[in-house]
Amino acid sequence: MRTAPTILHLDMDAFFASVEQASKPSLRGKAVVVGGLGPRGVVATCSYEARVFGVHSAMPMAQARRLAPNAAYLVPRFALYRAVSEQVMALLRALSPLVEPLSLDEAFVDLEAGEAAWDAGSARLSGVKLRADIRAVTGLTGSVGLAASKMLAKIASEQAKPDGLVLIEPGTERALLGPMSVRTLPGVGPATGDHLRRAGIHTVEELAEAGEDELVRLVGKAHGHALYAMALARDERSVVAERETKSVSVEDTYDVDIHDRVRVGLEVQRLADRCVRRLRGAGLSGRTIQLKVRRYDFSTLTRSETLRGPTDDPVVVREAALRLLEAVDTTGGVRLLGVGVSGLADFTQEDLFAQAAEEAEQAAEEESGEERPKEAEEPQERRWAPGRDVHHAEHGHGWVQGSGLGRVTVRFETPTSEVGRVRTFRVEDPALSVAEPLPLVRGPAGRGARS
């Protein structure tokens, strides 16, 4: 481990919800919940005001609504979140060439590699400046942890939340970790935590006192060795700038179980096509096709098939996914389907038979003059999902508060305006259209937040 706290961990505060609050003046300081709004939707994230009521990420949306019935419930706007994330990541890369993103709102930075810090004082100054730059560029807050290892930097940023900075001085790690719950350590989830608790181990200090042999006996060789090392604050992992993509996948959860076998097949084909589009967008191909099926009783089945060589051909992926589906019983109904591709490569071994089949299919279409069926247009009321950006010819930019019974309610405000007025329109009003999000911060610093 290092002798200076030059590994920084940034975790943006309630990122999706904070972006929504920054974008919508009327929601600032209010409970905001972002996620899937259907009967089976789950919470992606929520504001700190919503957490007071017990709402948290991964909670079923129906439960969240019971706990916080007056919160604002919004669909995610991932294009905007990605744009804001790119602004934040650019600030991190200005600090160091070694930036390891973990998600849109979280990353490790090796300050030493960028010569941005060499001791505790310079590390703290870098963290303070970073937080100020993030606020200036995006209008958002982030929490920063600084330590001599990745594990401790992440624990420090969790302690810093919300909108804070915590630095762990080298040499103080054992004393700091000792009284903490074992659940503080990465990889210790509810199941492992309960197993350790039943063995009388509640804190990190008790974990260290148990000894390596006892931990191996309790949780297995690999996990036991890792737990003991973490309990002693040992973590030699480096910040890795490029994380290799291991798989590309897409999945959908359905509001109502699908019982029709033909419909299940069509959904699998649609997901396969989406997966290939994502694969090609990343310039990749893959050898192993995977199918995921969650049935009516929540049992989840996965099946896979490995091809002779990597492919990004939609016909090949589609046909492989359908072959895998044949081995799965969907009689009782399906609530989730997913298609993925792994064994990735940056080249393609063309499948001549599939290519010929696709060309023949296209030729038959041209001969008959028929086009492939297009996906049904999105229902008008579903188009006006809560949180979406809209523009009205007379009233300007706004966002959807809700819709139903042929009406849509819009609040007209922008990130830099005062709290706006609310108006209601018919869903088919020709003056109302879907719009792109506006930058969160006015002026040059806010450019790039538009998606």
Q: At residue 194, what is the residue type?
A: D
Q: Tell which residue, 301, 300, 396, 313, has the closest CA to residue 350.
A: 313
Spatial separation of the C-alpha atoms in residues 369 and 112, rounded to whole Å: 64
For residues 357 and 363, give the distance between their C-alpha atoms in angstroms, rounded to a whole number. 10
Selected catalytic residue, list 20, 106, 173, 267: 106
Cα separation of 200 and 210, whole Å? 10
List Cα–Cα distances, 125 to 76, 80, 109, 417, in angstroms: 34, 30, 14, 33
CA dihedral 25, 28, 32, 37 (to 10 degrees): 0
Token look-up 């400046």 returns: 129
- 200 burial type by CB count under 10 A (0-12 exposed, 13-18 middle, 19+ buried): exposed
Find out whether 294 and 245 touch, Cβ atoms under 8 Å: no
Active site annotation includes 106: yes
Q: Which two tokens stand for residue 245?
A: 């993509």
Closest residue by Cα to residue 271 from 260, 283, 263: 263
Cα(99)–Cα(97) distance, integer angstroms: 6
What residue ranges in 178-312 does DSSP mark as E strands?
247-258, 285-295, 300-311
Contact, 134 vs 142, CB < 8 A? yes
Give φ, ψ of 190 to 5 degrees.
-55, -40
CA–CA dist 52, 65 (Å, integer): 13
Q: Measured between alpha carbons, how far is 28 from 44 in angstroms, rounded to an integer?
A: 18
The one-character DSSP state at 448 is T
Residue 38 structure tokens:
């259907």
Q: How far is CA 402 from CA 115, 397, 423, 427, in A?
A: 50, 16, 11, 11
Structure tokens at 178: 């000792």
SS3 of the chain: helix, strand, coil, percent, to 5: 40, 25, 35
Give residue for tokens 């492992």: 192
Query: Which residues on neighbouring strands pair with residue 73, listed in sequence order?
Result: 33
Q: How far apart are the C-alpha atoms of 14 and 6, rounded to whole Å?
A: 25
As annotated, the active-site residues are: 106
